[in-house]
Structure 1
Amino acid sequence: MKPISSIVLTISLISTLVACNQSTTSESSQNGDGKKLVIGATMLSMQNEFIVNVHDEMAKKAEADGIDLITVDAERSALKQVEQVESFIAQHVDAIIMNPCEVEASSPAVTKALAAKIPIINVNSETSTKPSAFVGSDDVESARIAMKFIADKLGGKGTIVMMHGYMGQAAQIKREQGAREILKQYPNIKLIAHQTAEWDRAKAMSLMENWIQSYGSQINAVFAQNDEMGLGAAKALADAGLKDKVVVVSIDAIPDALQAVQKGTLDATVFQNAQQQGSKAIETAEKIIKGQPYEKETLIPFQLVTKANLSQFMK
């Protein structure tokens, strides 16, 4: 299997080559000059499975609609992301889709695109500067769902730890907010530690190992702000012989997480719809380019996934 970074480069090269080909079909989306529409996309990290899933759906929708999609990987760098948007502006793309690295530090990219009169759509994550449109889900709600499940499992009493995503990113900020909202309702549940594992499975495993050494059997539950971290935490707990005693819940419902719920490694995950986020981002960009009516904010609901309803989400 090719590394993801190679796939992204291949997509970019193919898109650029296709863009140079002036032939179009009657089924393709075209701009006013009769040329195929070109959309530039900058993604937070193509090493993150959920982000890759969102991008794959964007690519499918773009191909179906005859749009050239040029994808670049920001590699979690907001500075790099702003530079990538500047490059798209210089290429005179018809629209830009950005999966922001950070709420504040990625905001200049939005400002620059709007100043250049190029529509910019944020997908999955937000910036403080408002883009032309946003397509994603309410991350506050996802954490409320996850933490409420944990509270119910613990009977409203116990000690928990929380793993943050990449600090400063909208999902991290909002998922912490949602979790703390629920914790306020349960004074007998104590948050004894919280730290970032940067959405990463290996970093989460290492962090969980440290927490096991520090707190051991005091830990009753783990809330991980995404599945990659939840799976890393669950592995560390299993290795320490503690998994059966600790509730582990995470967010995204990636395939590995669904299998973990099936096996009982994860107690629950919260489904985030990558298919709709990706396809709706392209659809929204296309509508804006063509001057058609569009939604400035498209919010796709989260859903709790447990063994009880797992079959609805397994492919």
Structure 2
Amino acid sequence: MIRKSVLLTHTLLLSLFLGGCGQSSSSEKADKEGGKKLVIGATMLSMQNEFIVNVNDEMTKKAEADGVELISIDAERSPLKQIEQVESFIAQQVDAIIMNPCEVEASSPAVTKALAAHIPIINVNSATSAKPTAFVGSDDAESGRIAMNYIAKRLGGKGNVVMMHGYMGQAAQIQREQGAREVLKQYPGLKLLAHQTGEWDRAKSMTLMENWIQSYGPQINAVFAQNDEMGMGAVKALTSAGLKNKVIVVSIDAIPDALQAVKNGTLDATIFQNAEQQGAKAIETAIKIAKGQPYDKETLIPFELVTKENISKYQK
């Protein structure tokens, strides 16, 4: 009996020792991997927008590659819903929040709430009036300048232009209009014939273009659509009316449809916005902040003009 008790004691001690070693190695492994798995919450403007979907896809790829858990939610263009989603992320105590803002002003309370809860918040692709922890995106005013400069050169500085706005109040809409108007001021011969929102939507923009064709017809010399979805809608309406060969159409984002249209010659130009870099850099920045590492408070990725001459560089 004594021998059995001694043997049992030795066995238990050995088990505890080995168990302790196992816990130690797990802790060491966790330390090497940087501790617990980081959790990042993301609220995106609209998953009906192809460019935003592309940004989100790149965020997902980068998060998976870096071993980070990403919880991504569609705000469905609602600032109120977006604020509620950020509040939910705060309640879940995520390590960082990435927000693709619905609107400059209406989405700003989400930034304020995150910062008050001491959770870093990174705006991606679009801005808010409330200053986030960091911003990753592009200078939207630059894209407006590039597009309108292209139109001005093609028209020789004279002609009538119509402009399709994105979702009103959203940073990209405000800044792309600002950039376009800066160029218009430099060309007294260019007249802004009409401007109205197409809400980033292809079908709505096709209807808008049809209305403009009825109102102005051959007076229209060029269309600046603030994104490719709207640009493609304008192209369809102009083609149906037999006017496409007489009207220059330029849009922004360089989504696959638009690139193919540029190659075919139906869309005159698009402005490349790098969804891959925006998505990846947003995750990279969130990770750095969550880990207390140095980071850039602003990461700006340049826009690039895409025409038939350089289309091969952008088509995959």
In structure 2, how many angstroms separate the alpha carbons of the residues matched to 1:292 and 1:285? Answer: 10
Give CA deviations for 1:79-113 in whole Å, capped at 9, x if unaligned.
00000000000000000000000000000000000
Cross-structure match for 1:62 = 63
In structure 2, how many angstroms separate the alpha carbons of the residues matched to 1:160 and 1:76? Answer: 28
Distance 1:25 1:131, change over 3 A: farther
What does residue range 159-178 of structure 1 map to in structure 2 within 5 Å?
159-178=160-179
1:161 alignment partner, SS class? strand
In structure 1, how many angstroms separate the alpha carbons of the residues matched to 2:50 and 2:119? Answer: 29
Distance 1:286 1:207, change over 3 A: same
Assess if the C-alpha contact under 8 Å between 2:30 and 2:36 holds in 1. no
Asked if residue 203 in structure 1 is aligned to residue 200 in structure 2, the reply is: no
In structure 2, how many angstroms separate the alpha carbons of the residues matched to 1:44 and 1:215? Answer: 33
> Which 4+ stretches in 1 moved above 3 angstroms?
23-31
In structure 2, how many angstroms separate the alpha carbons of the residues matched to 1:77 and 1:30? Answer: 37
Shift of 1:35: 1.9
Shift of 1:30: 6.0
Cross-structure match for 2:186 = 185
Assess if the C-alpha contact under 8 Å between 2:44 and 2:52 holds in 1. yes
Cross-structure match for 1:290 = 291
Cross-structure match for 1:80 = 81
Cross-structure match for 1:44 = 45
What does residue range 147-296 of structure 1 map to in structure 2 within 5 Å?
147-296=148-297
Distance 1:136 1:231, change over 3 A: same
Cross-structure match for 2:315 = 314
Greater Cα radius of gyration, structure 1 or 2: 2
Shift of 1:25: 11
Amino acid at match of 2:151: I
In structure 1, how many angstroms separate the alpha carbons of the residues matched to 2:40 and 2:288? Answer: 12
In structure 1, how many angstroms separate the alpha carbons of the residues matched to 2:135 and 2:27? Answer: 29
Assess if the C-alpha contact under 8 Å between 2:46 and 2:74 holds in 1. yes
In structure 1, how many angstroms separate the alpha carbons of the residues matched to 2:177 and 2:160? Answer: 16
Identity among equivalent positions (%) equals 80
Cross-structure match for 1:19 = none
Asked if residue 97 in structure 1 is aligned to residue 98 in structure 2, the reply is: yes
In structure 2, how many angstroms separate the alpha carbons of the residues matched to 1:156 and 1:114? Answer: 47
Assess if the C-alpha contact under 8 Å between 1:251 and 1:269 holds in 2. yes
In structure 1, how many angstroms separate the alpha carbons of the residues matched to 2:211 and 2:36? Answer: 56
Cross-structure match for 2:16 = none
Amino acid at match of 1:241: G
Give CA deviations for 1:113-162 in whole Å, capped at 9, x if unaligned.
00000000000000000000000000000010000000000011000100
Shift of 1:306: 0.2
Cross-structure match for 1:16 = none
1:89 alignment partner, SS class? helix
Assess if the C-alpha contact under 8 Å between 1:40 and 1:95 holds in 2. yes
Amino acid at match of 1:141: E
In structure 2, how many angstroms separate the alpha carbons of the residues matched to 1:158 and 1:107? Answer: 39
Shift of 1:27: 9.1
Give CA deviations for 1:54-100 in whole Å, capped at 9, x if unaligned.
00000000000010000110000000000000000000000000000
Cross-structure match for 1:107 = 108
Question: Please, which runs of 5 or more residues in structure 2 have no aligned partner?
Answer: 1-25
Assess if the C-alpha contact under 8 Å between 1:53 and 1:275 holds in 2. yes
In structure 2, how many angstroms separate the alpha carbons of the residues matched to 1:27 and 1:267? Answer: 53
* RMSD of equivalent CA atoms: 1.6
Cross-structure match for 1:4 = none
Assess if the C-alpha contact under 8 Å between 1:28 and 1:65 holds in 2. no
In structure 2, how many angstroms separate the alpha carbons of the residues matched to 1:89 and 1:115? Answer: 10
Distance 1:188 1:88, change over 3 A: same
Shift of 1:223: 0.1
Cross-structure match for 1:5 = none
Asked if residue 301 in structure 1 is aligned to residue 286 in structure 2, the reply is: no
- Normalising by structure 2, report the TM-score: 0.90
Question: Please, which runs of 5 or more residues in structure 1 have no aligned partner?
Answer: 1-22
In structure 1, how many angstroms separate the alpha carbons of the residues matched to 2:183 and 2:33? Answer: 48
Cross-structure match for 2:147 = 146
